[in-house]
């Protein structure tokens, strides 16, 4: 299973990378806006900087919503770096764009996915990655993890190549359950990755080891 971090914040990307467990990055227009990245040149430069930090893929989302513009934007984004994956929303024009970009050898990440039907469409169109949003489903009282399980089952049954990139993770149990269910990739905020470190028995055990060592050394 791969770990992607869901942010456009360079410090967080570097911190996750320095931990030695990060594969790639996903961004979206809201995350870019949060970092104050605006204007075509700045956006391209920011994506390039991110690509230079990480080893694996970096998702960059199109802003357009019609086929021709999405294709144009997607091709421009793909030129930034070999690691770029063009993120395309799950709308009719988006499905057409995914089909076209895939046929041109450009990797895509179909985003804003909330149903198994949408997942089937994206796979049929040839999406490289599929991003079902777990947390946003939980927010409206649907179990987002059920959707991950359903999609993994469907994709395995038919041997679809599209990778399940579980997105909108809010906590460590989301991540652990996605691993159990066979998601190919998870993308989440830094705190979810670092949250995996935490266990009170680890802290208590280490404190005792160090105390015993100190007391033996003092004798």
Q: Given 2, 34, 57, 87, which residue is catalytic?
A: 87
Which position among 17, 44, 136, 171 is part of the footprint of ligand E4P (CB under 6 A)?
136
Using the contact rule CB under 6 A, the part of the chain among 76-84, 133-141, 152-160, 197-205 near ligand E4P is: 133-141
The C-alpha atoms of residue 68 and residue 50 are separated, in whole angstroms, by 27
What number of other Cβ atoms are within 10 A of residue 142's Cβ? 14
Told to check if 118 binds ligand E4P by CB under 6 A, we report no
Of 32 and 80, the one with the shorter C-beta distance to ligand E4P is 32
Structure tokens at 143: 């179990």
Select 176 or 206, whichever has its Cβ closest to ligand E4P: 176
For the bound state, the minimum distance from the C-beta of residue 51 to ligand E4P, rounded and expressed in Å, comes to: 16
Shortest distance (Å) from residue 201 CB to ligand E4P: 30
One of 135, 154, 184, 194 touching ligand E4P (CB under 6 A): 135
Only segment of 33-41, 88-96, 114-122, 130-138 that touches ligand E4P (CB under 6 A): 130-138
7 is a contact residue toward ligand E4P (CB under 6 A): no
**Residue 87 a catalytic site member:** yes
108: contact with ligand E4P by CB under 6 A: no
Closest CA to 145 of 121, 181, 118: 181
Q: Return residues touching ligand E4P (CB under 6 A).
A: 6, 26, 28, 111, 131, 133, 135-136, 167-168, 187
Q: Please list the active-site residues.
A: 87
């Amino acid at each position: 299973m791969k770990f992607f971090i869901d942010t456009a914040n360079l410090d967080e990307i570097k911190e996750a990378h320095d931990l030695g467990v990060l594969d790639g990055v996903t961004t979206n227009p809201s995350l870019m806006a949060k970092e104050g990245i605006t204007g075509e040149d700045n956006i391209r430069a920011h994506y390039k900087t991110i690509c230079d930090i990480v080893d694996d893929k970096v998702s960059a989302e199109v802003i357009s919503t019609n086929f021709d513009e999405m294709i144009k934007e997607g091709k421009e984004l793909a030129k930034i770096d070999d690691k770029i994956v063009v993120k395309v929303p799950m709308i009719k024009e988006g499905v057409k764009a995914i089909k076209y970009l895939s046929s041109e050898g450009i990797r895509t990440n179909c985003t804003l996915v909330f149903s198994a039907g949408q997942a089937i469409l994206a796979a049929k169109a040839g999406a490289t990655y599929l991003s079902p949003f777990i947390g946003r489903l939980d927010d409206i009282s649907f179990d987002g993890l059920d959707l991950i399980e359903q999609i993994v089952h469907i994709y395995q049954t038919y041997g679809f190549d599209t990778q399940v990139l579980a997105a909108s993770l809010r906590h460590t149990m989301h991540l652990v359950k996605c691993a159990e269910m066979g998601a190919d990739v998870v993308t989440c905020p830094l705190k979810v990755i670092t949250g995996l470190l935490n266990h009170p028995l680890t802290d208590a055990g280490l404190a005792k080891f160090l105390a015993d060592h100190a007391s033996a050394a003092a004798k």
